[in-house]
Amino acid sequence: MAGAIVYLLNGPNLNLLGTREPEVYGKQTLADIEAAAKKHGEKIGLSLDFRQSNHEGTLVDWVQEAGKKAAGLIINPGAYTHTSIALHDALKAVACPKIELHLSNVHAREAFRRVSFVSPAVDAVICGLGADGYTLALDAVRRLIEKRA
């Protein structure tokens, strides 16, 4: 388990964290979140591969790569949550534990945000806890990895 690789993938517009709607997404930048996640991952024995892309195909490629290389996968798919059958299909093809993550509570927002093509393809969903959701997702994926070992 020690040093198990977890892919932590971030979708479109998450590179704008800290400036994009801070009242919804918080004031921390993605770099701040990455640093905290890597520190926490190290503390709990996980090695993180932290990435962000605004491109759906790139995210699909990374999900497929995680299926070959990672012990677990956490994905904040951003707006692709509500539109991407391609991400759904890629996630379904990956056997490792998978968690969908959102900074905001998508269920308390616009109606279209309550629809997720990703949720049926993952083991768990964490939303509404801001940047803290990342460390909680790491704890959760670690438990899922241990249960499957």
Each residue of 102-147: pLDDT tens digit? 998 887 667 766 779 999 999 999 999 999 999 999 999 999 999 9
Domains identified in the chain, total number:
1
Strands (E), the chain: 4-10, 46-52, 72-76, 98-102, 124-127
102 among known catalytic residues: yes
Give the structural domain span for 47: 4-148
Are 45 and 4 spatial neighbours (Cβ–Cβ below 8 Å)?
yes
Exactly one of 7, 25, 80, 134 is catalytic; name it.
Answer: 25
Instruction: Look up tokens 């093509």; give the residue.
Output: 117
25 flagged as catalytic: yes
User: Angle at Cα 71 formed by Cα 55 and Cα 88, nearest 5°?
Assistant: 40
CATH number assigned to the domain comprising residue 57: 3.40.50.9100
7, 80, 88, 102: which one is catalytic?
Answer: 102
Give this prediction's pTM: 0.92
